[in-house]
Structure 1
Amino acid sequence: MGVAIEAVTDVDDLTTEVERLVAERGPRCGAVTVVAIDGPSGSGKTTLAADLGRDLDALVLHVDDMHQGWTGLLATVSLARTSLVDAWSRGEPPSHPAWDWEDEVREPDRAVPRADVVVLEGVGAFAIAGAKASASIWVEAPHDERRERAIARDGDVFASHWDVWADQERQLYAVSPGRDDADLRVDTGLAEKSPVPADAPGGPSLTLVIVGVIAVSLSMRTLMTSLPPLLPRIRDDLGLSSVWLGVLTTLPVLCMGLLAPAAARLGLRIGVARCISLAMVAVAVGNLVRGFGHEAVALYLGTLCAGTGIALAGTLLPGMLKGFFPAGRAGLATGLQMFAMMGGAAVAAAVSVPLAGALGDWDLSLGFWGIVAAVGVVFWLPVDRAVHRGGDHDQHPADVGHRLPWRSTTAWLVAGFLAIQSWQFYSTLAWLSPTYVGHGWDARDAGLLLSVFTGAQFVSGLVGPAITDRVGDWRIPLVGAGLCGLAGQTGVWAAPEAAPWVWALLLGAAQGASFAIGLVLLVRYAVSPAAAARFTAMAFLVSYTVASMGPTTMGAVRDLTGGYSAIWLVLALLMLAQLAATLTLKPSRAPVR
């Protein structure tokens, strides 16, 4: 009979017991020491494995990554025993089985890094390791609590397969080692150190997380929206060409694309909350550097620094929201993020020109947003401290070796959707004000028009995701948003002076809702916080890299045609492509792992 450890908060005692067993028994699987963690779905195995893996400096392997589809649990056990345990025992290079969730076929086995100590966690870990495990830990929790955790973690996809999966678990444990065969038992009922819910003992409160996310999100777009109304002054003062002005507006977007994969890896290495803290420091410093005199070098270096910070924080926030909020409230969580992001963007666009007048010049106006970002750091640091105090140093389990989901059709469809949407957003951001300056408007009024565009996103970015929590098909609000955008683009193209404020309102409503719901998809299609981080990294790499070419390409269209109208015709055609992409994003699509 195993030793019962009543709560996961006794993880130090658990580590001590495991170290004692390992020292007494030594490696039993060739030269490899295997610690097996088993138990039914939702019991808290992954969280416990991450903690134990850090304490033991061990490689953590997840049986979840080996499953052969929703009905292949028994097959998974057999395959994993052969490719992992038998290979270790023979001193051969190990691998683990893999599954293509899109085509529902087996993939080639994936190589496993060499390690002296391995923590193998997941349903069937005891059956896979067998007598070759040097220590075995059974994790359990009440049925209703397990189900709530599992569905909050993996979303609606798992909910529809819960009963089938539970039947397979019962079949497996009827013929394989289980609870009574464990060396140690852990009851995680009401005590799992998981980021869901945020109010778990030792972790940050939900209120603290919400305040922190809002504080960070306020500075996620001010770098970009504070610039366009000031471009004429910057061009005149620094003598910059249109090409270099285009580089200035493109640089943050390019950072968000190219640095997204690095952000996911860094978050897994040092912790998501800590990485966001460092990112916000970079945003604050970069904006402040832009305020140092009329210096082109400071302007570009500051933009690069702040753009790097935005890339890190923007990539990691969706995965963190996946961890702290259950799947059914993903829209609300994303809406709060968008509410703050677009609110800050709207204010920055509206007050940049007045700030330049009040503070003395454009450089101080740009530098002001560094102060706002610094305040964001102050509000985020308590979240960082609470997360680390709770022991959750990596919101995502230690699976750094996992690849970005390049083979997932779902991931590519979402990335393509976001690429089209982001191309339109940044092109509109760059060219809406100049279009109306070209029609004879002064810079202040054109800046106010841009603030209407961003202000509409402030509202639709909150409302759009909330609707996704209430309707069964998120394509409904996405189609509505696309039609609004198409109307606004057609208006600016065909009759720019007829109703400019209405056109700006429609454009903003479309872009805000489309982007916010796109962020919801990154959470809803992903099966775990770690998967959400990888999914976000891939989607941002594709979408922002493509979108970074938007403003410059639209500028080339203007130069070729000699006016601004063609820009809006091209954007309207892209909106039709976005509507077509929307129709492919069925809620029933295969999840992203």
Structure 2
Amino acid sequence: MKNRRFNKLRAPTMSIPSDKEQVLNHWLGVAALFMASLNLRPAVASIAPVLGSIQHDLGLSGAVSSLLVSIPVLCMSLLAPFSVKLSERLGNEQVITLSLVLIGASTLLRLFIQSASLLFLTALLSGIGIAMMGPLLSGFIKKYMADRVPSMIAMYSMALALGAALGSSLTSPLQWKLHSWQMALSFWLIPAILALPLWFSVQRRQIHASDTKVSISKPLKLPWKTGKAWILAIQFGLLSVVFYSLLGWFPLMLITAGISRFHAGFMVTLFAIIQIPSGVILQLLLKVYPSRRNWLIISSLMQATGLLLLFFSTFLWSAVLICGLGSGMLFALVNLLPVETTSTPEEAASWAAMTQCFGFLIGASGPFLTGWMYDRIGNFNVGILGMVMISILMGVISLFIVPRKDSLTFSNTS
């Protein structure tokens, strides 16, 4: 057949794919989405488990070493709008493929690190790749999977959580096994290698398609003047502050709370693992009670409760479970709402780009401020209490997501 298409794509001048080809295209799209999403976290999450070795070998302070997390997050903020502009010229699929190449190349480069400057360069390059790909995955879901947005966002969230879990839990054992933190960090090239063939196949199936590139009569604009987009962006930013602060410092937070290094490693792994099914759990909960706003409030309070237990150094295993589940559900929700609120793939990508631009700009400050306060005070109490207040603020802001009478009107398709 001359033009192969993903499921749900139709063009009046083209023949309709067979049922077998539609199924093949659908599962190719799902697999490509999952593997691309899997690459969005390991380059950042793998830093914290070997941060002590990095600081020792390269002579970095807490505030400076926290930039290894803050730099990629800052890239995700500043470059997110450019990903939409670039997709107008090249198409979503091509930009995602190029982003995977950049993430893989920067991860491979970590094998040769002997100086802090090269390490920070890899953080910058991986941040650029993640920034260019992140918003476009929302557009990809809206374009090819518009009839199953909640389930695809759940899978997207699961892949991100899995990537973070693998990066945070396996990097330290890899360092011990390979006798090198450089080799442990470069190991995360493998997910990019596995994802690239899928996206090359996606490109081949789209190369002759009439809508491979976005056709618009005027430049696509980000919704800077839309109030709901700003609320979602602020929510995303506050969540990012907490998430990336924990991503960079959670092991040391648990150790200073009295947990052994061995058990702290297990608890960090548990925190990451509990977020993997959180998107699926949320999808099931939305089928029973579909109010996105109310689940935002509940998830925010769960995250605050877990952090409060961590602040008082009590019931730490429960703290990790509650905080991890709340954080995972929050992430799935703040990624679901921009896709559900918009009506076209291009609009979904632009909303995602704006929320990530502003959100990650706020989030980038989290790891740095947490590390800076730890250097000054000698403990994480102020940082943890700040994250508790941020989580409560997220719950308050959620009251303004939609009017009360419209709180159940979001699409509930699955």
Give a deviation string over 1:212-266, Cα, whole Å, max 9, x none: 1111111111111111111111000111122320211101100110000001111
2: CA distance between counterparts of 1:513 and 1:551? 21
Counterpart in 2 of 1:572? 388
Segment drifting more, 477-486 vs 543-552: 477-486
1:439–1:354 Cα change, 3 Å? same
1:339–1:360 Cα change, 3 Å? same
Which of 320, 327, 330 is residue 504 of structure 1 equivalent to? 320
Q: Cα offset for 1:366?
A: 0.2
1: CA distance between counterparts of 2:114 and 2:11? 62
Which of 158, 178, 182 is residue 363 of structure 1 equivalent to? 182
Corresponding pairs, count: 402
Q: Is 1:374 equivalent to 2:193 in the alignment?
A: yes
Q: Is 1:436 equivalent to 2:254 in the alignment?
A: yes
2: CA distance between counterparts of 1:234 and 1:459? 32
2: CA distance between counterparts of 1:210 and 1:199? 17
Question: Is the CA contact (8 Å cut-off) linking 1:199 and 1:205 kept in structure 2?
Answer: no
Q: Secondary structure of 2:39's match?
A: coil
Paired AA for residue 419 in structure 1 = G
1: CA distance between counterparts of 2:154 and 2:187? 26
Counterpart in 2 of 1:320? 140
Give a deviation string over 1:100-154, Cα, whole Å, max 9, x none: xxxxxxxxxxxxxxxxxxxxxxxxxxxxxxxxxxxxxxxxxxxxxxxxx9xx99x
2: CA distance between counterparts of 1:292 and 1:400? 45
Q: Percent identical across equivalent pairs?
A: 27
Counterpart in 1 of 2:366? 550
Counterpart in 2 of 1:401? 219
1:274–1:353 Cα change, 3 Å? same
Q: Secondary structure of 1:577's match?
A: helix
Counterpart in 2 of 1:298? 118
Counterpart in 1 of 2:128? 308
Counterpart in 2 of 1:247? 67
> Greater helix percent: which structure?
2
Give a deviation string over 1:276-323, Cα, whole Å, max 9, x none: 000000111111111214332321111211111111111100011011
Give a deviation string over 1:463-483, Cα, whole Å, max 9, x none: 224544554321232222112
1:263–1:355 Cα change, 3 Å? same
Counterpart in 1 of 2:92? 272
Counterpart in 2 of 1:415? 233
Counterpart in 2 of 1:518? 334
Q: Cα offset for 1:586?
A: 2.0
1:523–1:356 Cα change, 3 Å? same
Summarize the alignment of residues 27-38 of structure 1 with structure 2, pairs less than 5 Å apart: none
1: CA distance between counterparts of 2:352 and 2:242? 19
2: CA distance between counterparts of 1:308 and 1:576? 31
Q: Cα offset for 1:350?
A: 0.9
Q: Cα offset for 1:349?
A: 0.8
Q: Secondary structure of 2:277's match?
A: helix
Which of 290, 298, 304 is residue 472 of structure 1 equivalent to? 290
1:235–1:419 Cα change, 3 Å? same
Q: Secondary structure of 1:404's match?
A: coil
Q: Cα offset for 1:514?
A: 0.5
Give a deviation string over 1:64-94, Cα, whole Å, max 9, x none: xxxxxxxxxxxxxxxxxxxxxxxxxxxxxxx
Stretches of structure 2 lacking an aligned partner (at least 5 in a row): none
TM superposition score normalised by structure 2:
0.90
Q: Secondary structure of 1:392's match?
A: coil
Summarize the alignment of residues 530-545 of structure 1 with structure 2, pairs less than 5 Å apart: 530-545=346-361
Which of 82, 95, 99 is residue 262 of structure 1 equivalent to? 82
Question: Is the CA contact (8 Å cut-off) linking 2:135 and 2:350 kept in structure 1?
Answer: no
Counterpart in 2 of 1:584? 400
Which of 264, 282, 297 is residue 446 of structure 1 equivalent to? 264
Q: Is 1:352 equivalent to 2:168 in the alignment?
A: no
Counterpart in 2 of 1:332? 151
2: CA distance between counterparts of 1:187 and 1:457? 39
Counterpart in 1 of 2:204? 385
Q: Cα offset for 1:519?
A: 0.7
2: CA distance between counterparts of 1:462 and 1:397? 34
Counterpart in 2 of 1:425? 243
Give a deviation string over 1:191-218, Cα, whole Å, max 9, x none: 689xxxx989799711100111111111
Segment drifting more, 342-351 vs 278-287: 342-351
1:202–1:482 Cα change, 3 Å? closer
1: CA distance between counterparts of 2:206 and 2:288? 30
Q: Cα offset for 1:377?
A: 1.1
Summarize the alignment of residues 93-242 of structure 1 with structure 2, pairs less than 5 Å apart: 188=12, 205-242=25-62
Question: Is the CA contact (8 Å cut-off) linking 2:232 and 2:334 kept in structure 1?
Answer: yes
Question: Is the CA contact (8 Å cut-off) linking 2:73 and 2:361 kept in structure 1?
Answer: yes
Paired AA for residue 335 in structure 1 = A
Question: Is the CA contact (8 Å cut-off) linking 2:63 and 2:375 kept in structure 1?
Answer: no
Question: Is the CA contact (8 Å cut-off) linking 1:322 and 1:523 kept in structure 2?
Answer: yes
Paired AA for residue 59 in structure 2 = G
Question: Is the CA contact (8 Å cut-off) linking 2:293 and 2:402 kept in structure 1?
Answer: yes
Q: Is 1:527 equivalent to 2:374 in the alignment?
A: no
1:249–1:205 Cα change, 3 Å? same
Which of 459, 471, 476 is residue 277 of structure 2 equivalent to? 459
Paired AA for residue 212 in structure 2 = H
Question: Is the CA contact (8 Å cut-off) linking 1:257 and 1:541 kept in structure 2?
Answer: yes
1:251–1:490 Cα change, 3 Å? same
Stretches of structure 1 lacking an aligned partner (at least 5 in a row): 1-8, 10-148, 154-185
Counterpart in 2 of 1:99? none
Q: Cα offset for 1:560?
A: 4.5
Paired AA for residue 182 in structure 2 = D
Paired AA for residue 333 in structure 2 = I
1: CA distance between counterparts of 2:269 and 2:325? 12
2: CA distance between counterparts of 1:436 and 1:551? 16
Q: Cα offset for 1:389?
A: 3.9
1:579–1:364 Cα change, 3 Å? same
2: CA distance between counterparts of 1:463 and 1:289? 37
Paired AA for residue 567 in structure 1 = G
